[in-house]
Structures are given as C-alpha cells and as structure tokens.
Structure 1
C-alpha cells in the first residue's frame, strides 16, 4: 500500500495579478517522492480580472483536483480548510506630503488624548500636592517632577510598543503587531467563509 500524501494548507498567501496559483503556493506537501514534483507544480487556479483582490482555495477543491489527476492517491489534509489568496495589485508610492499630514494629525490627536487624560485625573494638582509633601512648600509648576514625568512618559511609550523607528529592542511582538495579526486573522477567516465558492455552490443547491 502506497504511503499517503500529506497536505497542510496555508492560512493565506499573496500573489501577483493574473498569476497561476499552484499547490506548492497554497500548501506544504509531503509524502511519496514519486509524485511530489508534479503535485507541487499542479495549477489549482488562474487568477483572472473578475477575481478582484481575493480568491479562496478550498481544501475540497484541492482534493478534487488531485484525485482527478491521481485517482489512486491517498490524501491526508491537515491545517486550515481554506487558503485565502490575496491578489496584490501595483501600489503607488505614498506621497511625502500625505505621510506628513497623517503624522501631524496623529501627533496632535495623541497629544490631545494625553492632555485630556491628565486633566480628567487632575495630574497637575497631584504633582503640586506631591511637591508639597516632599518639600513643605507650595509650587504652581513643580518642574522637577513634571519634566522627568514627561520624559518617562515618552520612554514608556517607546518601550511599550517595542520600536524606535525601525529598531526593535527584542523579539517580543508589540501590542500593535499583535492587534494587526489578530485583525488579519479575523479578516481571513471572514473572507474564507463569505467568499468560498465551493460553499456557495453547496448553499445554492
């Protein structure tokens, strides 16, 4: 009895417009070496204009096409049931003016959020009372507390996001990267359900 061929589908991939999606692109294949080169180069889908920017390759589609070519082959599927193929169209380089405008907008928004938070919790009053407790004198602007606090706030944000421009302090992902990953995973899961042509055909029947 021939050893089974194991196919592990990828969660998502990115391809160029009008390209051919092969089995090796959407899954990792292992098993009998005899048919491996032919299996990996098998074309599952030809990206067309009507596909727009997303194509869903269903595991049932993979099994159907492989068995159509190799009827006696034993397949074992592991991993996700669908692979979301993102069609990457040519993107224009962002305008430096637009980047600066967005950066200024985000900077002002973040500054306003921090100032409003400090106003809500009466941060200046707390620092004045702290200065009085430590020195016994009243001071409207205790700069020896406010200046280090402001510097520490900025350093804390840099350490929290684990980035200084392109420099990463350690291999741990930042909270922003985790949120982006979770968002992309949820988006791929949604698209895999809503754009799955195989499941749509089953519903129509």
Structure 2
C-alpha cells in the first residue's frame, strides 16, 4: 500500500561552499509524521568547489531520487518546479573612498534631475505668479513659497520610498521595492531557463551513496 506525501519546492535558498543540502532545506513536506522525519534527512546535493554561484535543483530529479529510495512512496509535487540555490562569494569590505564617490555621483545626479525638471516646467515662474496672485506684489524670490516647497519635496520623497535611512516608516512596500521584486522574479525565471549548471543525475547518485 502506497503512502502519499506532498512536496513543495522552495523558490530560492542560500547555501555555503561544501554544504550538504537535505530535502528539508529545499522543500516543504506534508504527510504522515513518520515519513516526514525520514524524508527530511535525505541528502540531496553537496555544494562542490567547482559549482558556480547558482545551482538549480529540479523537482523531477528530486522525485526520481526519492523513488529510488522509497519505491512505494507516492509523491505529489506542488508549487515551484525548481529551487534556486545561490552560493554567495566572499565579499570584501567596500572601500570608503569608493562609497563616497558613488554617493557623490548619486547625489549630484539626483540634484541635476530635480533641477532640470523644475527648469523644464518653469517652476520658478509658477511660484512667482502664485505669489503675485496671492499678494498682488511682484517678487523675484518668493521664499515663503520656495522654502516650504523644498522641504515638502524632500518629505514627499521620504514618504514615497517609505524609508528614513534604514528605518521603514510602515509595512507597506514602496514602489521601488515592488519594482525590485518584479525584477528579481524575472531574473530568477531567466536563471531557471538559461542556467547551464542544472544538477546532473550523477550528482544525486553520488550524494545518495554517501
């Protein structure tokens, strides 16, 4: 009599060099508690020194390996078909000079973008006309409008990006985070489709004999 176990692969995990990946690391398992304990400890793959920064574990290969170990086990796969295993490289401490140069470039670029936008829409003339409509006087620099406008512009950017330095204002994701999430999803799909280092059957055979 066969036993049914439900398997859902994790979309993405992170591993270290020479780390052994077990089924519990790459997938969620639902079924009888006895089988869950057995399957969770099955060794699927060992990260080798020759691996690049990304390894793809396919659900069909996982099912194939589980059937080799437990022939009477019926496995129902749900969710993603692959797990992306990222292997981070050793990161060096960033240079303070490089960080300052990048910060300066971003600051100058953002300032120029804002100034060019205001120049294109003639913001200074608009503020002068607004001052004339409200006071009846011509003034070249209506500071009582320009200063609150500048402060409000900075505050609006903080609210838009939903961050004040590293602190999040509320739990709602910012538009930038949403776009980064979409970009990461597209990147993961591209990696799954084009990654040429999909774990081979021999890798599973080697890991199963350890």
TM-score range, shorter chain: over 0.9
Q: TM-score, normalised on structure 2?
A: 0.90
Structure 2 unaligned blocks of 5 or more: 202-210
- Report the Cα offset of residue 33 of structure 1: 1.8
Query: Residue 58 of structure 1 contacts residue 196 of structure 1 at CA under 8 Å; is this kept in 2?
Result: no
Task: For CA contacts below 8 A with separation 6 or more, give which structure has more relative contact order.
Answer: 2
Question: Are residue 71 (structure 1) and residue 71 (structure 2) matched?
Answer: yes
Structure 1 unaligned blocks of 5 or more: none
Distance in 2 (alpha carbons) for counterparts of 1:40 and 1:29: 8
Distance in 1 (alpha carbons) for counterparts of 2:142 and 2:200: 67
> 2:208 maps to what in 1?
none
Bigger mean CA deviation after superposition, 184-193 or 34-43: 34-43
> 1:27 maps to what in 2?
27
> 1:180 maps to what in 2?
180
Bigger mean CA deviation after superposition, 149-158 or 173-182: 173-182
Question: Are residue 115 (structure 1) and residue 115 (structure 2) matched?
Answer: yes
Could you list the per-position Cα deviations for residues 64-114 of structure 1 after superposition, in whole angstroms to 9, with x for gaps in the alignment?
Answer: 111010011010110101111101122112222222211111111000000
> 2:95 maps to what in 1?
95
Distance in 2 (alpha carbons) for counterparts of 1:159 and 1:198: 43
> 1:42 maps to what in 2?
42
- Report the Cα offset of residue 58 of structure 1: 0.5
Bigger mean CA deviation after superposition, 91-100 or 114-123: 91-100
- Report the Cα offset of residue 197 of structure 1: 5.5
- Report the Cα offset of residue 200 of structure 1: 9.9
> 2:204 maps to what in 1?
none
Q: CA RMSD in A?
A: 1.8
Could you list the per-position Cα deviations for residues 136-164 of structure 1 after superposition, in whole angstroms to 9, with x for gaps in the alignment?
Answer: 11111111111000000000000111110
Cα–Cα, structure 1 residues 198 and 157, in superposed 2: closer, same or farther, change >3 Å?
A: closer
> 1:167 maps to what in 2?
167
Distance in 2 (alpha carbons) for counterparts of 1:189 and 1:199: 17
Aligned pair count?
Answer: 201
> 2:15 maps to what in 1?
15
Query: Residue 57 of structure 1 contacts residue 196 of structure 1 at CA under 8 Å; is this kept in 2?
Result: no
Query: Residue 56 of structure 1 contacts residue 196 of structure 1 at CA under 8 Å; is this kept in 2?
Result: no
Distance in 1 (alpha carbons) for counterparts of 2:43 and 2:187: 26
SS state of the match for residue 94, structure 1?
coil
> 2:207 maps to what in 1?
none
